[in-house]
Amino acid sequence: MAEGAQGMPEWTPIESGRLWRWLLIAIGVAVALFGLIQLIPFGRQHANPPVLAEPQWDSATTRSLAARACFACHGNQTVWPWYSNVAPVSWLVQRDVDNGRARLNFQQWSQPQRAARRAAEAVERGSMPPSYYVWLHPDAKLSSAERQQLIQGLQATVAQSPPGGRPGTP
């Protein structure tokens, strides 16, 4: 770099040209990598299994709140947004739905549900629904009163309608 009249470095046309060339190469590599990761098949198998059974909800309000805040990952009627088809975001969405359904699925209630008894605790702690999910799905945001209703409703629902249909089933 050459120094200007005030001792400040100046860019010469040759150095500026090199910078642009490297910048264009970096952008080209990033675009090529983005295109290549779209070929990885994981994250776009958006299957919604059939609804087998739901709990006997303690109230329509509890079901409505659970549907709004939980069913996307903890149910079989997931609505897959456009970005769930674009890697690497599709990988994260698929992982979240797969993990959510494996832990607790309100629409396969006739089968054992590992996290059924802890669902209300997760809502109370604020870990469910996750903040990033609420950011992307503002309709899932619960007010304090709705959160309290959901906590109480989940506790009552699990107590009166345990998963698998057997009292004491986790």
Whether cis (ω within 30° of 0) applies to the bond prior to 138 is no
φ/ψ (deg, to 5) at 110: -75, -10
| Mean pLDDT confidence for 27-49 | 87
Mean pLDDT of the chain: 89
- Asked whether residue 76 is domain-assigned, the answer is yes
159 and 93, same structural domain? yes
Structure tokens, 150 = 């959901």
Could you tell me if residue 54 is inside a domain?
no
Decide if 47 is inside a domain: no
The answer on 152 and 113 residing in a single domain is: yes
Q: What pLDDT, on the 0 to 100 scale, is given for residue 53?
A: 96
Is the residue at 23 inside a domain?
yes
Tell me the whole-structure pTM to 2 decimals. 0.78
Average confidence (pLDDT) over 54-79 = 97
> How many angstroms separate the CA atoms of 60 and 67, rounded?
10
Structural contact between residues 117 and 155, judged by C-beta atoms closer than 8 angstroms: no
Q: How far apart are CA 5 and CA 13, in angstroms?
A: 17
Name the amino acid, one letter, at 78: T
77 and 27 in a common domain:
no
What residues have CB less than 8 Å from 111, skipping those under 6 apart?
Answer: 52, 105, 163, 164
- Number of independent structural domains in the chain: 2
SS3 content of the chain, % helix, strand, coil (to 5): 55, 5, 40
146 in the same domain as 74: yes
Establish if 117 belongs to a structural domain: yes
Residue the block writes with tokens 């897959």: 80
Residue 119's nearest CA partner among 104, 97, 99, 137 is 104
Range(s) of the domain holding residue 12: 2-37
- Is position 19 within any domain? yes
Instruction: For residues 40 and 35, give the distance between their C-alpha atoms in angstroms, rounded to a whole number.
Output: 10
- For residue 160, being part of any structural domain is answered with yes
18 and 88, same domain (yes or no): no
The closest of 156, 81, 83, 133 to 142, measured between CA atoms, is 133
pLDDT of residue 40: 84
Whether the Cβ atoms of residue 133 and residue 123 lie closer than 8 Å to each other: no
Q: Both 71 and 138 in a single domain?
A: yes
33 and 72 in a common domain: no
pLDDT mean over 50-67: 97
**Is the pLDDT score of 42 beyond 50?**
yes
Asked whether residue 9 is assigned to any structural domain, the reply reads yes
Q: Is 76 in the same domain as 147?
A: yes
